[in-house]
Structures are given as structure tokens and as C-alpha cells.
Structure 1
Amino acid sequence: MNLIENVREALTSVKVNLLRTVLTGAIIAIGISSLVGMLTAIDGIKAQIAESFAGLGANSFDIQNRGFNGGRVVQEGKTEKSYPSITFREAWKFKEDYTAIGQATVFTTVSGAAEVKRGSKTTNPNTRVRGADENYLSIKAIKLAKGRNFSQMEIRYGTAVAIIGKEMEETLFESNEDPMNQKINMFGRPYTVIGVLEKQGGVGRDQGADRQILIPVENASRLDQRGTFNYRITGVASDPGKLEYEMGQATGIMRKIRQDRVAQEDSFELTKSQSVAESLEEVAGYLRIGGFGIGFITLLGASIGLMNIMLVSVTERTREIGIRKALGATPHRIRQQFLMEAITICVVGGLFGMMLGIGIGNIIANFIGPGGFLVPWLWMIISFFICIAVGLIAGYIPASKASRLDPIESLRYE
């Protein structure tokens, strides 16, 4: 018997024992689907989160309070110097000075639990109100569904105008109403709606991006009665290749504004936006390792089940093996035949498991956050080779047992 005949015999055996093949393939399919499904879901979720940061680009950086809250910095259990928060005037002065180099935006969070009213309609107290300038939408890659952006005059004089999120429009206005130039009330003050943001969605149940309202940052600063608002700056370099150089210039500008002495460390923190993507990739890498480990354990259980079924198959076909040996089949060919059967079952089950895993993974990813359909070609190729490896490992012991059977004893087996 040559290799081609062995393949044919393996396929014939698979067809004859169809129920056993289906059950065995199902074991492999479950193992592969869990592996591919988890990895697909992780890649899908990562792609959605990465898309949120894609607008920041690789040539932007953030300036914020040192220690993220303007308070005392704690390192290695030791409380260091307390740094004052970045004030609105300092942030605005930086924006004006940095204009000669690149573009910058100043923004702050006014409230994360505001209540907005319009006539008899009132939102839940979970609306995010943020103060921003005219550059905020372009730098953060946020698009308008209708209306316009803040004008320079509105930013300069802190006019009571607002750009609302899509969910705010749906909550406060009827479907046939135009929200443009309509009045809404928050913090006891009326604001005129001048724009509506495109629907952005979110991860899981957090749809905060569609529940936000933007107001001019000058107007927001007037609401800062206690001086506790955390003002942040995002700068954009003129060219990605000049990012490090222009970050150095930005540091010099900010040190001058903050009046940091020559020997004194920076009283603020400057972070590349690209580091967010790098951190995200690092976390996704750990998730992939965990997902691969869990999937591998499931697949290991499936391979043990396959080996058990193949051992039963050898016992059932003892007389058949004896006849083949009596007709001249060598132990090598017998071993090869059973290995081919195991690999065939694994590949068939694996292909079904891959399709099932891709479907499950995309369903999970889209349930957590709306996104596209992801086809993980890398994991599919890896899974295909894993199927072959599982077939070889799980089929070797049964095949080896079959090849060592004595032909005379096999023919006598009942």
C-alpha cells in the first residue's frame, strides 16, 4: 500500500464510521473554536479600542499635571514635592506660544454627572460636560453630524453655546426636531446648541462619548469656582519626524510659563500619545497569552478524547489489521493509515471549529462594542497546523499499537 492508497483508505474509513467521525471531529471543533474564538474576540476588542485612539496620530503629545492630579507625587513609598495644578491661564498661554511651532488644544472636564434640561425633558445625571476650544474636534478626530464648530470669538469671550452628543440629541429632541439654535439648560444656565457630534459608540455599556456636551473652555473656566478643574493640553507636532524635537520645545515653553527653575524638575508631565497605543498592544499581548493558554488546555482535553476514540477504533478493527498484514501490509503502512485517519478527522473538525470560533469571537467583540467583522488569518493558519499536530500526537499511540499487532492473533480476534 502506498501513501495515496492509505489516504483513500483513511477517507473511506471516515465515511463508513460517519457517526464516530462526527463525534470525534466535534471534540476537536470545540477545542479549536475556543482557541480561535478567544483570540478573535481579543483582536476584535483591541481593534475597536485602537480605533478610538487612531485619531490622535503618532505626532501628538499630552501635557497634564504632574502625578495626574496636581497633588503630591508618591514614588517608592516616599511622598515627594507637591506640584500646583495647571491653571486655565497657563494652559492657554502655552497654546498661544506653541502656535509658532504646531497646533494645540486646551480642554477640561467640567462634570461627569451633569443633568441637562430642555423644557419638560431631563436627562439622567450622567452627562459628561467638557470645556474645549476650536482645535479640540480636529486634534481628537471627532466629527460633526450637523451644525458647526466653535468660532474663535465664542472661544475668546466664552459664549454660552454647546455641541451635544448624539444621545443627547435623541434624549432632548424629537426625531423631527432640528436641535440647531435651540436652548438647553445645565448648571442653571441656558446654552444654545450649535452642533451635534457623530455617533461614536463605546466599549460595553459605556457610551459616554455620545452622552457628552462640549462648551467653550473659557466658559467652562467661569464654572470653576473653587479652582479645582484639571486643565489638559494636547499638542500636535508639525511633522512626525520632528516629534521629539518639538516635544523638547514644548517642555521649554511650559517650564517658562510655570516658572520652573533651572535645577528644578518639571512641574508637569508630557506624554506621547503613541505610548497609549504601545500600552494597549502590551495589554493585548498578555490577553492573547492568557487566551491561548486557556484554548490550549481545552484543545489538550480534545486530543485526549481523540486518542481514546482512536484506541477503541484499533480494537474494533483488529481483524481488519490482521487481514491487511496477511496481504503484505508493513507495520509502517498500518501506522501511516491510522495517522492519516486521525489527521483527517482533526482537519475536518478543525475547519468547522475555525469557522465557529471566528463567528463566536466576532459576536463577542461586537457585543462589547460595535465594530466590523474580523477574519484572523494568522490564528487560522496557526490553528490549521495545530490540528495536524494534534492528529499526529493523538493518533501516534493508537497507530503504533495497530502496527505492532501479530497478524495471526489478529485474524483469530473476535
Structure 2
Amino acid sequence: MKLFTSFKLACFGLWSNRLRVLSAMTGVIIGMFAVIVLSAIAIGVKDTLMKQMGSLGAEQILVMPGRLLDTTNGEKDLLSGLTSVPSTLTYADAEVVADVEDVKTVTPILETINVVKYDEKSAQSAMVGTTDQFLRVQHAALSEGRFFTQEEQDGKAKVIVLGNNIHEALLGNKEVPAEGGGMPSEEKVEPDPWWKRIMNKLLGETASAEEPSLVGQTVTINEETYEVIGVLAPNATLGSSTDNNVVIPIQTALENTDMKNLTKMIVEASSVDAVDQVDEQVFSAIMTNHTEIDFSVVKQEQMLGALGKVTSILQVMLFGITATALVISGMGIMNVMVMSVRERTKEIGIRKALGATTFEILMQFFFETLLLCVIGGAAGIGLGYLFIEFWNNNVDIFALVLPLWAVKLALYTSFGIGSLFGIYPAWKAARMNPSEALRFD
């Protein structure tokens, strides 16, 4: 019964000092908001990267320039063990790998920077020379048109597939740097205002005019003309977007660009069980064309392991930020409650003179701090959830993921802050001498 009375008095005490309570609660709200949002960012980034890497398939092997050093455990050190050397991988290496037993496909990739021109417009892009398997192994998609075929690849056809951003830029719908660092002279086509787009969605209205497209048109790269046969669908993701790429057949890229060495190769084993064997055989096959080990063959599980280390570092960093925010908010609340105790010294003296025990005074102020933290924590969690919903509905680069444990952590943390930083103000109030408290001005 005494605890319930102390709880009621704590509620009255908070209500009678609403403005001070709100200012003190702001720190807790920010701290809990940080716990929810930063946890969601850490989990969201990790899940997105893992899905992107995992979606490539456990049977895939990456061949890349540079030599990976081994750790003390005999594993490849992807984070710090890659030596920086120019690529010596060639298309001949890809052909040798294709003949290895249990190799299903080999997708060589050659990348270089070029300027694409259409009429008076131009856009800087990353040219990717590859095979007809590119869409499948990269899990990319087309928004219109088609991808080039094996026959076009072997025939060195001058066909090209544009990334979404490049396509929009050449149509004049986006501003991009032109050759020499300038901007295209044409005015940017302004999109509809946000309110009009929302109304169109609500009313189900679509533009009556057909969307312009460059499919079937020709573009120019390094004085060479290419026929646009397709446009890649937007895929703004972490680290693997094709929006600023233009894709051409690998044979065409080797003939019409200065790049003769591959950026990487994606090797696909016939099955997951054959990955280890294929890994060794691919290395041996490429070594027949090289005098030294200046390349690395990396399995999917090794890439995922390295990625897991990076995301773990990110999580530790974010945890440190949230812990700092929570400690600062807790110290702020303790200072506010200490000031509250000082200003209510005469009230405490009157209560003690009327028979209130030390335990009742202690619990009253302890409950005040605890309630302040719990209410602020709930508000911070609510704001964090709203922010996550807003992000997921409006930002496509990666999704924020709010696990249940993060919500529980925020609630337990707010309770812990209230308990920890509420002890000193409550103890200070409970130990007051009634006669001295009554004489306090």
C-alpha cells in the first residue's frame, strides 16, 4: 500500500512540474530514438548486403586481380590481404576456365569509364563488357527492350543496354556531368510536383502520353556508334547498382576500347558440392596462362565471412554511439531530479513532519525518475518506429529492419536508466532532516 501511495504521489509530482518533466524527457526520447533507428540501420545494412551477396548463389566463385594473403588460420584475408596490382586477367583466362570440369558458366566482366552521347546530350557512364549471362548471374532485370544474345556477342555486334540513370540523362530527364565536367546545355525536364504525384496515385491517373525511349536509337561512345536494344530496370542498392552502367558484349568491348584486361570473372559451379573442387581447378587453369600468382579465386562463403566482419564493426560502432547518447540523457535526468529535490525541500520537510517515512520519500522520487524514463522511452520507441516506416516507404537503397530484440532492449534500457540515475536524487531527498528542510528558503 505504501508503494502505491508513493507511486500516486510521483504521478502528481510529475504532473505539477510538466514543463521541467518534458525538457528532461527530451534526452530520453532522443536516446531511445537512437537505439531504435541505429539498431534498424545496422540490421538493415547487414541484411541488405548479405542478401545481395547471398543472392549471387553459393555455387559462385569470384576471380579478381591481386593476390589475397592468408591469415594465421590459413583463410583468405579479404579485408586487408588483397595486394593492389594491375589486372592481368584476360579473356583467354575465361576461355580456359570454361573448359574446367564442373564449371557451368563463366561470366567475364570488363569495366571502364566512358562518355555516352545522344544528339547534343552526353553522360559519363561505367561501360561493362560482359556475356549474355550477365543478367542472370547479377540478378539484374530489364525495364524495356532485350539483352544481347550469344550470337551478337560472338559476332562483335555494336549493341548496347543502358542503365536507368544513363537512359534518363540522355533523354534530358536528369542532370549529369557532361564531358569535361560541364553540364548539358539543355534545361532539365522538371518532374511533376510531389502533391500532383500523390494525387495521381490516389486517383489512379497515369500520364496519357507514351514514355519516351531510346530503344532502337543509336548512341556514340569514343566515336563508335551502338544500337540501343534495352534499358536496365532501376536497382539502387548498396554497392552493386547498375543504374549508371552501359553494357555491351565482351568481344565488342575488347575490340573497341583500350581495356584488354578483365576487371573480374564470375564462375558458376555445376553444384554447391562441387565448389571446393572447382575452386582449386579454376586456380590451376588460370595459372597455366600466368607466370606468377597475381590473381585470387574467392568462394562465396569467404566473401560472406568478410562481409560479416565489416557489418559487425558497424554494429559495434553504432552501439557505442547509442550507449553514449543514453548515458548523456541519464545524466541530464539525474541533474533535473536533483534540482527538483532542492526546489521541493520544504515540501519534503512538511511530508516528513506529518509522518512520511524515509522509505516513502525515497520511493516517491525514485518512481518519478522511473516514470519519466519509461514514458520518454515509449515516446522515443514510437518516434523511431514512425521514422523506420517513413524510410521504408520512401527510400529504396536499403530497408531498415526493426527486430523485436531492439524494442525490448530500448524498453529495458529506459527502465535501467530510470533505476540507475534515480537512486541518487531519491536518496538525497529521503535523507533530509525535517527541521532543516522546513527552514530552507
TM-score, length-scaled by structure 1: 0.82
Does the C-alpha gap of structure 1 residues 102 and 289 become closer, same or farther in structure 2, counting only changes over 3 Å?
Answer: same
Equivalent position SS for 2:126: strand
Check the 8 A contact 1:33/1:354 in 2, yes or no: yes
Q: Say which of 364, 367, 377 aligns to 1:340.
A: 367
Q: Say which of 107, 110, 118 aligns to 1:108.
A: 110
Alignment gaps of 5+ in structure 1: 69-79
Aligned to 1:97: 100
Aligned to 2:284: 255
Aligned to 2:155: 157
Higher alpha-carbon deviation: 146-155 or 28-37: 28-37
User: What RMSD over aligned residues (CA atoms) do the two structures have, in Å?
Assistant: 3.3
Does the C-alpha gap of structure 1 residues 128 and 235 become closer, same or farther in structure 2, counting only changes over 3 Å?
Answer: same
- 1:208 Cα deviation (Å)? 6.2
Aligned to 1:19: 19
- 2:385 is the counterpart of 1:387: no
Inter-partner Cα distance in structure 1 for 2:315 and 2:366: 31
Higher alpha-carbon deviation: 137-146 or 168-177: 168-177
Equivalent position SS for 1:181: coil
Does the C-alpha gap of structure 1 residues 19 and 267 become closer, same or farther in structure 2, counting only changes over 3 Å?
Answer: closer
Aligned to 1:85: 88
Residues 29-178 of structure 1 correspond to what in structure 2 (within 5 A)?
Answer: 29-67=29-67, 85-98=88-101, 100-109=102-111, 111-112=112-113, 114-123=114-123, 126-173=124-171, 176-178=211-213
Does the C-alpha gap of structure 1 residues 239 and 4 become closer, same or farther in structure 2, counting only changes over 3 Å?
Answer: farther
Q: What does the per-residue CA deviation read over 1:261-285, in whole Å, with 9 as the maximum and x for residues that have no partner?
A: 9xx9856311123433333332222
Does the C-alpha gap of structure 1 residues 20 and 349 become closer, same or farther in structure 2, counting only changes over 3 Å?
Answer: same
Amino acid at match of 2:218: K
Inter-partner Cα distance in structure 2 for 1:169 and 1:84: 30
Check the 8 A contact 1:45/1:368 in 2, yes or no: no
Amino acid at match of 2:105: Q
Equivalent position SS for 2:100: helix
- 1:173 Cα deviation (Å)? 3.6
- 2:230 is the counterpart of 1:195: yes
Q: What does the per-residue CA deviation read over 1:29-49, in whole Å, with 9 as the maximum and x for residues that have no partner?
A: 233334444444444444444
Q: Say which of 352, 374, 388 aligns to 2:379.
A: 352
Check the 8 A contact 1:40/1:357 in 2, yes or no: no
Aligned to 2:268: 236
- 2:256 is the counterpart of 1:223: yes
Does the C-alpha gap of structure 1 residues 247 and 199 become closer, same or farther in structure 2, counting only changes over 3 Å?
Answer: same
Q: What does the per-residue CA deviation read over 1:288-326, in whole Å, with 9 as the maximum and x for residues that have no partner?
A: 222222332232222222112212222233343344444
Q: Say which of 216, 229, 233 aligns to 1:181.
A: 216
Q: What does the per-residue CA deviation read over 1:347-394, in whole Å, with 9 as the maximum and x for residues that have no partner?
A: 112222233445567878999963345435433321221211111121
Amino acid at match of 1:395: G
Does the C-alpha gap of structure 1 residues 253 and 38 become closer, same or farther in structure 2, counting only changes over 3 Å?
Answer: closer
Does the C-alpha gap of structure 1 residues 271 and 284 become closer, same or farther in structure 2, counting only changes over 3 Å?
Answer: same
TM-score, length-scaled by structure 2: 0.77
Q: What does the per-residue CA deviation read over 1:160-195, in whole Å, with 9 as the maximum and x for residues that have no partner?
A: 111111122212247733333322221222212222
List structure 1 segments (4+ residues) > 6 angstroms apart after TM superposition: 361-369
Check the 8 A contact 1:131/1:220 in 2, yes or no: yes
- 2:246 is the counterpart of 1:213: yes
Higher alpha-carbon deviation: 26-35 or 14-23: 26-35
Amino acid at match of 1:181: G
- 1:327 Cα deviation (Å)? 4.8
Equivalent position SS for 2:243: helix
Higher alpha-carbon deviation: 322-331 or 154-163: 322-331
Residues 257-406 of structure 1 correspond to what in structure 2 (within 5 A)?
Answer: 257-259=286-288, 268-357=295-384, 370-406=397-433
Does the C-alpha gap of structure 1 residues 89 and 16 become closer, same or farther in structure 2, counting only changes over 3 Å?
Answer: same
- 1:411 Cα deviation (Å)? 4.4
Check the 8 A contact 1:255/1:266 in 2, yes or no: no
Alignment gaps of 5+ in structure 2: 69-82, 173-209
